[in-house]
Amino acid sequence: MTAPGRREETTVEPATVSGHCAPEFAGVRDAFERNFSEHGDVGAAVAVTVDGEAVVDLWGGHADAAGTRPWERDTLVNVYSTSKGMTALCAHLLVDRGELNLDAPVSRYWPEFGQAGKEDIPVLWLLSHRAGLIAPREPLPAGHAYDWDRVCAILAATPPWWEPGTAQGYHAVTFGYLVGEVVRRITGQSLGAFLRSEITGPLGARVFIGTPAEEHARCADMVGQLDEARLAEQFPGAPKPPFRSLADHPLAIVMLALTYIPTGDVNSAAYRSAEIPAGNAHAGAHGLATVYGALAAGTLVRRGTLEAMRRSQSRPGERDLTIDALAPAGYEHRWGLGYMLNHQGQAGPNPRAFGHGGAGGSFAFADPENRLSYAYTMNKYGGGTTGQDPRNAGLVRAVYQALGQNRS
């Protein structure tokens, strides 16, 4: 997701870590402290639950680059695409209730979607990034990302960028509008309102998509953003839009997915208040771990729904058209239904763990076999949407060492 904004330098005092940690998870505290001393974390939190009980709930550092606001337990922060796990969960809750059929065409719920070659696209392909609808055909002007109805109308009229179903390509920004509009058509509530009323509110989990104004004072500022300057560094030589096809340039799909719906300054009130369900959830680690903990414990959805959520939708050896350019060399991505699957160990040794990461380094997942959930949030923009950020990797490794398991 793009967010034009200036790059910020940080000069902060050593972090003070607060919270609690069960004795057997002391290694997680050590890893968390090293993230500040060795990896430059400014402010961050990590939370782990086992059997629904918090065994790790730590936070530390500062909520701003200047070091004037301490990070508190109730601090919220933009978690970029870690949001997608919450968005997908809203759809799966409707499946669990019998109100949404993933094999049905999207147009059954959203009639306007059934145009421009999209008449037969099933809801399943929205969740598995196979719809070919990674962007509009023309870049949207600044500010349009906050106009839900306009963006959805444009996407409904947009032809797919590839034949739907034939390939997977990470829908970095459009995922949230596509899944969110299906949820809205069924429930009459926006994605963020449904998430709050049906999932996070009853769980007491501090996770918002469309953060209320009264919560803005608790939001940490992102230190560094995924802006045009950062994209230029990451993808030197990338061409400027517009693009007419994916064949225009090897990086065309990345630039389409990340730049065609510009989302603005992630530290602005307008951004925090908007609903951009693919990437602007504001959450605390404890809140994310609470939601994933309920999934791991089997109390949010039935077992069959849980199994479907983490069933691979990717073909063996299939590349992701977008993530191939974003992830480290040799990374092979597999999608569940809205979730990143753990076949490369970014969420510990259990290959059946599932969750989602975000640009900058946040990460959250459920591990039902170990009855465990995990979440890491931070405001120092680092690396990776797929869990490879070394700050996250060290924490996950320490969690499973505490369980007596080696991380593969």
Listed in order, strand segments (DSSP E) in 269-398 are 282-283, 340-341, 354-357, 363-367, 372-378
**pLDDT bracket for residue 343 (50, 70, 90):** confident
Tokens of 367: 């591990």
DSSP 199: I
- Is residue 408 pLDDT above 50, yes or no? no
**Residue with token string 């080696």:** 406
The number of helix segments (H) and strand segments (E) in the chain equals 14, 10
- Is residue 325 pLDDT above 80, yes or no? no
Positive/negative CA dihedral, 128, 129, 132, 134? positive
Amino acid symbol at 93 = L
- Is residue 233 pLDDT above 80, yes or no? no
Domain boundaries in the chain? 1-408
CA atoms within 13 A on the CB side of 170: 31
1-408 topology per CATH: Beta-lactamase (3.40.710)
Biggest distance spanned by C-alpha atoms of the chain? 58
Residue from 359, 312, 360 nearest 43 by CA: 360
What residues contact residue 162 under an 8 Å CB cut-off, 6+ apart?
132, 169, 246, 321
Q: Per-residue pLDDT tens for 9-26?
A: 444 456 789 999 999 999
Q: Using an 8 Å Cβ cutoff, are 301 and 291 in contact?
A: no
pTM of the model: 0.94
Report the distance separating Cα 89 and Cα 248, nearest Å.
35
Q: Does an H or E element contain 53, and which?
A: strand 53-61
- Is residue 41 pLDDT above 60, yes or no? yes
Write down the pLDDT at residue 400. 98
Write down the pLDDT at residue 234. 76
Write down the pLDDT at residue 406. 55
Amino acid symbol at 147 = D
Q: Per-residue pLDDT tens for 174-193?
A: 999 999 999 999 999 999 99
Q: Using an 8 Å Cβ cutoff, are 314 and 333 in contact?
A: yes
Report the distance separating Cα 172 and Cα 156, nearest Å.
17
Q: Does an H or E element contain 21, and which?
A: strand 17-21
DSSP H stretches of helix in 312-364: 323-326
